[in-house]
């Protein structure tokens, strides 16, 4: 791996290897678990290398010929960026477990408890609207699937109060779903007790950035983005494309939680939390939510 001492050179290098792995996506994707392969992820790390991630459960089936094939793909695409001997780390990991405050909220805001018909809780992501101006909120996509899919009823904070129905579910670039309802506002529950923040902006973040997550189980957590725009296996959706990996803590019930950065006037939404494995967590970037669902966060 090249020795990188200057910060500017580091980010230039990260851009180069990002281009290399993005150019390799179509050729590596057939090796993913969703396509009966043994990979559960690939991308690039803030530490300056490309990684290829095998399923820990299939460790005994990993062979050198497969690694050679994958390295050849990456190295061939690296030549377009005038790279040779591209640094690639082959590693194993587990498929992330999909993570499943509790008062009644009117209007609805991000970071609070919602439930589906089986009375299992998840976290409301944020208020949003579609291109026609119809308002609603974003929630966890796998929670929506588990609750019955499109048309499923969503409640807050318990089954005594229905707040809407699932209108659309992502699954390509975001583990997210869309629920139409009028009684929403552009705030999120930041921390206890009842400390709210206005949503002032939204955009994707980058590797090395510090982000916050606000979920119904773990509360407010903070961590750094470790990897960006990676392919990752999902128990519900097969392979999710262009996902983010971070190191904040999460637990069951945090699925759907808003992931955000602090701004001078509130917060900037950067994504939707969906799962964790080992000491790492995963979220779908806001660009993926917009792409899959055609909705954008409400802002002040």
Residue 131: band (very low, low, confident or very high) from pLDDT cuts 50, 70, 90: very high
pLDDT in tens, 73-113: 999 999 887 788 899 999 999 999 887 699 999 999 999 99
Q: How would you write 215-246 as a 3-class SS string?
A: ECCCEEEEEEEEEEEEEEEECCCEEEEEEEEE
Residue 288 confidence (pLDDT) above 60: yes
Across the range 142-160, mean pLDDT stands at 97
Which pLDDT score is estimated for 74? 96
| Structure token pair of residue 25 | 């996506």
Confidence at residue 4, expressed as pLDDT on a 0 to 100 scale: 55
- What does the pLDDT average to over 156-174? 97
Put simply, whether the predicted model's pTM sits higher than 0.85 gets the answer yes
Q: Which residue has the higher pLDDT, 36 or 8?
A: 36
Q: What is the pLDDT of residue 80?
A: 80
- pLDDT band (50, 70, 90) for residue 247: very high
Predicted local confidence at residue 165, as pLDDT: 98
Under 8 Å between Cβ of 257 and 188: no
255-283 residue pLDDT tens: 999 999 999 999 999 999 999 998 999 99
Flag whether pLDDT at 119 surpasses 90: no
Check: CB of residue 17 under 8 Å from CB of residue 227.
no
For the segment 173-228, what is each residue's pLDDT rounded down to a tens digit? 999 999 999 999 999 999 988 899 999 999 999 999 999 999 999 999 999 999 99
Is the predicted pLDDT of residue 1 greater than 60, yes or no? no
DSSP collapsed to 3 states, the chain? CCCCCCHHHHHHHHHHHHHHHHHHHHHHHHHEHHHCCCEEEEEEECCCCEEEEEEHHHHHHCCHHHHHHHHHHHHHHHHHHCCCCCCEEEEEECCCEECCCCCCCCCEEECCEEEECCCCEEECCEEEEECCCCEEEEEEHHHHHHCCCCCCEEECCCCCCEEEEEEEECCCCCCEEEEECCCEEEEEEEECCCEEEEEEEECCCCCCCEEEEEECCCEEEEEEEEEEEEEEEECCCEEEEEEEEECCCCCCCCCCCEEEEEECCEEEEEEEEEEEECCEEEEEEHHHHHHHHCEEECCC
170 exposure class (CB count in 10 Å sphere: 0-12, 13-18, 19+): buried
Instruction: Between 214 and 119, name the one with better pLDDT.
Output: 214
């Amino acid at each position: 791996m090249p020795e990188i001492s200057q910060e500017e050179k580091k980010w230039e290098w990260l851009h180069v290897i990002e281009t290399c792995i993005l150019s390799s996506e179509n050729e590596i994707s057939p090796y993913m678990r969703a396509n009966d392969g043994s990979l559960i992820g690939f991308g690039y790390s803030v530490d300056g290398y490309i990684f290829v991630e095998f399923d820990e459960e299939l460790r005994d089936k990993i062979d050198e010929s497969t690694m050679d094939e994958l390295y050849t793909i990456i190295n061939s695409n690296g030549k377009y960026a005038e790279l040779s001997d591209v640094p690639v780390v082959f590693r194993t990991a587990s498929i992330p477990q999909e993570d499943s405050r509790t008062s009644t909220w009117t209007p609805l805001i991000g970071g609070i408890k919602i439930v589906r018909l089986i009375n299992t809780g998840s976290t409301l992501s944020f208020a949003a609207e579609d291109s026609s101006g119809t308002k609603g909120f974003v929630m966890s996509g796998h929670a929506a699937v588990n609750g019955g899919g499109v048309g499923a009823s969503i409640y807050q904070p318990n089954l005594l109060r229905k707040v809407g129905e699932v209108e659309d579910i992502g699954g390509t670039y975001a583990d997210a779903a869309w629920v139409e309802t009028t009684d929403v506002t552009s705030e999120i529950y930041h921390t206890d007790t009842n400390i709210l923040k206005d949503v002032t902006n939204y955009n994707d973040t980058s590797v090395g950035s510090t982000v916050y997550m606000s979920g119904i189980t773990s509360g407010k957590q903070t961590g750094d983005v470790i990897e960006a725009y990676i392919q990752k296996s999902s128990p519900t959706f097969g392979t999710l494309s262009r996902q983010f990996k971070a190191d904040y803590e999460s637990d069951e019930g945090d699925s759907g939680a808003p992931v955000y950065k602090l701004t001078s006037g509130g917060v900037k939404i950067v994504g939707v939390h969906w799962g964790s494995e080992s000491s790492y967590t995963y979220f779908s970037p806001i660009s993926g939510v917009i792409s899959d669902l055609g909705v954008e966060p409400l802002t002040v």
